[in-house]
Amino acid sequence: MIEVKQLTKEFSIAKNKKLTVLNDVNLVIEDGDIFGIIGMSGAGKSTFIRCLNLLERPTRGSILIEGVDITKKKGRELLSLRKQIGMIFQNFNLLMQKNVSKNIAFGLEITRVKDYKIPGISDEDYKKLGFFKKRSLKKKEIGRRVDELLKLVDLEEKKYEYPSKLSGGQRQRVAIARALATNPSILLCDEATSALDSRTTESILKLLKRINEETKVTIIMITHEMNVVQKICNKVAVLDKSEIVASGYTREVFSDTSSEIVAQLLGGGE
């Protein structure tokens, strides 16, 4: 279970000037949930999800995972915590110079920061995410795990292909496999389907749902697309201008016609 209590995040944007991006956010996410967080662009969704794995340090408040406040964690403890949290992105962020198998093994191998330049995510973030850590797995074990993951995301025949030869949906499958390599208990998805057409979106959502059922991984889906939430999220929170304005079971939240922001999001036709 993840409990977010009175989470506030401020960025200082100029001398003596602060921007409050998350304001007193309270949320409970149960194990095995597919939890949607929806809101307009600029609402603070990405900042929220980045706080969950401490890519951003909260200004105030606490984040409890299985009762332990992670906001206090540092060093080795923080790294082992991040191993339990996988993340995928809108633009997949694959290593273009590595084949599918190597991309998936990335999180399991001994790697050096300077070998990789990843678009859309800084070396610093990758280091924080624990990708550049000495792993204890043997080559054979890594190979076995990669094959398992390829099977899970249904990409066995693309094992030695390079990302440039893959479709968007296939690239996101590789990213999902990579994120799950260390067997995390939480998968964070930041606009994971926003770069995909509707048919491909559907197949990725189906895959995530199947993975959630098979592995019991808790999935947190950040999106501005209403239909994504409607399709797979059992629960949802609506983030508007730094605050949670509604949360609960998806059907109930979306049927609340008195909520202006829900009406706006539904009316957006997305």
14 binds, among ligand ADP, Mg ion, none (CB under 5 to 8 A by kind): none
Q: How far is the CB of 39 from ligand ADP (least distance, A)?
A: 6
**Of the candidates 141, 125, 229, which has an alpha carbon nearest to the alpha carbon of residue 183?**
141
Q: How far is the CB of 97 from ligand ADP (least distance, A)?
A: 28
**Of the candidates 224, 143, 141, 220, which has an alpha carbon nearest to the alpha carbon of residue 185?**
220
Binding-site ranges for ligand ADP (CB under 6 A): 11, 13, 19, 21, 39, 41-47
Smaller CB separation from ligand ADP, 106 or 126: 126
**Are the C-beta atoms of residues 218 and 236 closer than 8 Å to each other?**
no
Total residues in contact with Mg ion, by rule CB under 5 A: 2
Smaller CB separation from ligand ADP, 60 or 159: 60
Q: How far is the CB of 138 from ligand ADP (least distance, A)?
A: 39
Q: How far is the CB of 199 from Mg ion (least distance, A)?
A: 23
Q: How far is the CB of 40 from Mg ion (least distance, A)?
A: 10
Helix axes 168-180, 139-152, angle to 10 degrees: 130
Q: Determine whether 219 is exposed, middle or buried from the number of CB atoms within 10 Å of its CB (0-12, 13-18, 19+).
A: buried
* Residue 164: half-sphere exposure toward Cβ, Cα within 13 Å: 3
Helix (H, G, I), strand (E, B) or coil at 100: helix
CB contact burial 143-166 (16+ within 10 A = b; e otherwise): eebbeebbebbebeebeeebbeeb
44 binds, among Mg ion, ligand ADP, none (CB under 5 to 8 A by kind): ligand ADP
Residue of closest CB approach to Mg ion: 46
The interface mask with Mg ion, positions 33-62, x = CB under 5 A, is: ------------xx----------------
Please report where in the chains the tokens 């962020």 appear, as a residue.
93
Smaller CB separation from ligand ADP, 125 or 154: 125
Q: Which residues bind Mg ion (CB under 5 A)?
A: 45-46
